[in-house]
Structure 1
């Protein structure tokens, strides 16, 4: 066990020997001192340019403190005015950390990291007279976030909130010099600039994590205090939890255990696995290498068991886990960022770029292009099979004549040491939410279908996973099998000022991702739910 500042990393069993060997090499190479000194040379010459401007996260426990007093004042101002419904429009690194922070603290924050018209429609109709919208985009050009902003601007105007009152309802978080900064200042919105030397997935303790959380009522100073308490140990060659965790993750991956099953068991932190999933998958999944995080429901979940290509990690207490991590949330953010950077060096990749994320975005944008302002038309094509409320668009991957057999055929395609990814372009907070149960059911079903036993199964809500595991799907080991879910839109929502609707945008994103996956020769099946509630239930029944 390695312990410092209330954080502990414990390895046991076969993880001990493989970790120790890598740990010794990292110490002899001087990695702890070089990393905390921000040496961009740690990841090789090809990573030098990117890494040299992406290491600001190491100092955030101190540099983010200048945000605390202004945020406290702004939060008090909104509270005094009765503006107590905070909405965050952001994707990936701009939404995942605030979600963990506020859920762990028990604070309410409405998060929009979707293009589903049903979910967005409910959000913009909810307490609009008491709403403040945080628009968060590092690049300033995130299409989802821009569309959310447009929808809220219209909703405010329709509610009679105009002029200075409307300007007061928006807080924009972005990097200096981004297009969003320019447009937000022109519009008169409150602007908070983030640290440009921190990448999106390392931004938990920047303005992206702190602004929406503070406005929602969280004591964000405590997060920085916990991170600051851990920071000195990260400079040390020994008794360094971050180095130990990085060595454990990296050594497991190079030793063939490149699936990291993440389970919580009483950590007190809510939803941390989803944040860690993005950090690890997007940082390491490239050049045919990487660590695939598989977030499971609990230590008793199907699939949380020893396997040749799996390493399990438990957040909290679990004596038999090969890898166990404990500590307060602010310190955990810094711990895992440090460990991921170290694991990148061990694996031999640049942990700060995301070279394959843009492809699906470009394909989606291509489908959204229109001439003369006419709405774009997306042609879905004829299904290979219709079973009840579910259409099966197989792309040649399966040949079954009913849904249950089609699912079994797809599961059987998962190769030895491969994985299956479920990608749901649906409404994650409404009637489609039970779709998340598919992960456990498919894992359990795969134990009987595959000769090799249960397959690692990930579950992602689209398009949010495109900013997370989407990089791994395309840049990581090409052994994935993909199940995409789309659904009929009952009530679409126009995007103000654009020639397309949210429903069209959602479908374009799904199709763009599907094309990117199939272009790599990976089996990818799309199931379209003609009726969402009925279709989800039919899927669950077929797997049971």
Structure 2
């Protein structure tokens, strides 16, 4: 098994070599192997004491295999072929990559968009098993999904106790609630934080139920764990390269997996790196989905693909190498890689907005201008009269070392519902989908600037890059997209619908960004399908 990190850039190689030398002198590899929580300074020590279990997951997670195997066999014996995962951040991103790489189907719900949730509910409910994944159970999105599926099962005459599997920490409120409801519970290692949990129960349970070979995944990770012992190891080299590059000004980490047999790892690494390093006004911005421009602050990391650094290895090994590297980069940057101090800001703003609005309308404000099915909210100069002008304004407003982030609170699968001709080629079909996909905006705008353009689906990104947006360098420009809801969905036992929650989450993050002085514009699509088409047309005119 090839597990390695090599360098295609002489400057990166030299910087990494020097950083490794200093890390070895400071005893970092030995201390990290021993799980020393003092590595990231006294302020991080208490958090690190309870967050280093990921180092041993390739071994300790094997204890879960008999329970997971028995559960998967029971699910298959009962004909439950549709596996739905309700989880956010680390609870969903790793299983999504695992299942895509092993080519097994998994429906991931990390959204509050009613259209996306309705689509999952309509898909084989009689053959559905739902995995509810949350360390505490208090995550508002996951709690909403659990409530909705419980009601849907009961309405269909199905006992939820036979259809819901809970993955959580020992002693959590969710464990107690699940036990009372009679749900199957799999307990995760409480000494592992969410974004480091790929090889824990959070990554393994839904993946195994979907049909992935998780024992093989652990085999791959265990071999990588052996490679991480000592001074000459790939995780140390990668972490040294990322950290040293960022300290020298190359803090935009473009993740390229174009030649990799692994599917979607950059989306998982994006959360790991952004949420771990983006704090105290510093950090590394992972960039997924666009080509390098050659800008001076770019650092290209290839996953089984050439780059300034190339990381080779199977999925289980990649998980562990990137986790190790992120911890090392945190040490070099002088930040705690295990906390997320600014994530709560958007959550608190959302809760306040919902509470203050009561049964009334949410405080959306008055649009600065309207261009067809798109309302524009924010500080817009008088000379800007239309949507192309707004997009131009945002692009021109990106600082010299900054970036533009597109944050879309919409249904990320709606484009695939667009009818296509029966005899259409794959190329024609993908073109049709792209013409209706908000994510296409990233590519359209990225070719109009030499600065990075990132794209995140809300509220998913709130548990990922949202930390970097608020805690990282003050050089981001933000474009938020929301949309009208035509067919909302009640959340049983709660005073809000999914659509209302989705909009409140968008407004909550908008408020958090503005309080920190981040430039942000919100586009609201009064007709979602027409609005997306109009927005993409406007981007082509910039």
**TM-score tier after normalising by the smaller chain length:** over 0.9
Is residue 344 from structure 1 mapped to residue 345 from structure 2 by the alignment? no
Cα deviation, residue 12, structure 1:
2.5
Specify the SS of the correspondent of 2:493. coil
Aligned equivalent of 2:374, options 390, 393, 403: 390
Structure 1 residue ranges without an equivalent (≥5): 447-453
Q: Hey, what's the Cα distance between the residues in 2 that align with 1:50 and 1:395?
A: 40
Q: Hey, what's the Cα distance between the residues in 2 that align with 1:33 and 1:398?
A: 60
Aligned equivalent of 1:38, options 17, 35, 47: 35
Task: Select between 202-211 and 132-141 the one with higher mean Cα deviation.
Answer: 132-141
Is residue 375 from structure 1 mapped to residue 359 from structure 2 by the alignment? yes
Name the TM-score, length of structure 1 as normaliser: 0.94
What per-residue deviation string (whole Å, max 9, x for no partner) do you get for residues 46-79 of structure 1? 1000011100000000000011111111111111
Q: Hey, what's the Cα distance between the residues in 2 that align with 1:435 and 1:63?
A: 41
Is residue 87 from structure 1 mapped to residue 84 from structure 2 by the alignment? yes
Count of residues in Structure 1 that have an aligned counterpart in Structure 2: 520
Q: Hey, what's the Cα distance between the residues in 1 that align with 2:383 and 2:120?
A: 40
Specify the SS of the correspondent of 1:95. helix
Cα deviation, residue 376, structure 1:
5.0
Q: Hey, what's the Cα distance between the residues in 1 that align with 2:501 and 2:78?
A: 35
Is residue 356 from structure 1 mapped to residue 359 from structure 2 by the alignment? no
Is residue 29 from structure 1 mapped to residue 26 from structure 2 by the alignment? yes
What per-residue deviation string (whole Å, max 9, x for no partner) do you get for residues 199-232 of structure 1? 0000000000000000001110011101101112
Instruction: Kindly report structure 1 stretches of 4+ aligned residues shifted beyond 2 Å.
Output: 374-377, 395-399
Contact 2:239 2:328 in 1 (8 A): yes
Name the TM-score, length of structure 2 as normaliser: 0.94
Identify the residue that residue 328 of structure 1 maps to in structure 2. Answer: 314
Identify the residue that residue 194 of structure 2 maps to in structure 1. Answer: 200
Aligned equivalent of 1:216, options 178, 196, 210: 210
Task: Select between 188-197 and 423-432 the one with higher mean Cα deviation.
Answer: 423-432
Contact 1:397 1:523 in 2 (8 A): no
Structure 2 residue ranges without an equivalent (≥5): 417-435
Identify the residue that residue 305 of structure 1 maps to in structure 2. Answer: 293
Aligned equivalent of 1:60, options 31, 48, 57: 57
Cα deviation, residue 314, structure 1:
1.2
What per-residue deviation string (whole Å, max 9, x for no partner) do you get for residues 104-138 of structure 1? 11100100000001001111121100000000001
Identify the residue that residue 402 of structure 2 maps to in structure 1. Answer: 418
Structure 1 pair 317–33 and aligned structure 2 pair: CA distance change class (3 A): same
Q: Hey, what's the Cα distance between the residues in 1 that align with 2:382 and 2:234?
A: 46
Specify the SS of the correspondent of 2:174. helix
Q: Hey, what's the Cα distance between the residues in 2 that align with 1:428 and 1:313?
A: 26
Contact 1:174 1:194 in 2 (8 A): yes
Contact 1:398 1:406 in 2 (8 A): no
Identify the residue that residue 425 of structure 2 maps to in structure 1. Answer: none
What per-residue deviation string (whole Å, max 9, x for no partner) do you get for residues 132-165 of structure 1? 0000001221000000001101111111113xxx
Q: Hey, what's the Cα distance between the residues in 2 that align with 1:44 and 1:398?
A: 49
Identify the residue that residue 317 of structure 1 maps to in structure 2. Answer: 305
Specify the SS of the correspondent of 1:324. strand
Contact 1:367 1:376 in 2 (8 A): no
Identify the residue that residue 515 of structure 1 maps to in structure 2. Answer: 511
Identify the residue that residue 226 of structure 1 maps to in structure 2. Answer: 220
Contact 1:88 1:111 in 2 (8 A): yes
Identify the residue that residue 48 of structure 1 maps to in structure 2. Answer: 45
Q: Hey, what's the Cα distance between the residues in 2 that align with 1:410 and 1:523?
A: 9
Task: Select between 52-61 and 398-407 the one with higher mean Cα deviation.
Answer: 398-407
Aligned equivalent of 1:156, options 128, 153, 156: 153
Cα deviation, residue 305, structure 1:
2.8
Specify the SS of the correspondent of 2:448. helix
* Alignment map for 1:142-291 (pairs within 5 Å): 142-162=139-159, 166-238=160-232, 240-291=233-284
Identify the residue that residue 528 of structure 2 maps to in structure 1. Answer: 532
Specify the SS of the correspondent of 1:260. strand
* Alignment map for 1:410-489 (pairs within 5 Å): 410-431=394-415, 434-446=437-449, 454-489=450-485
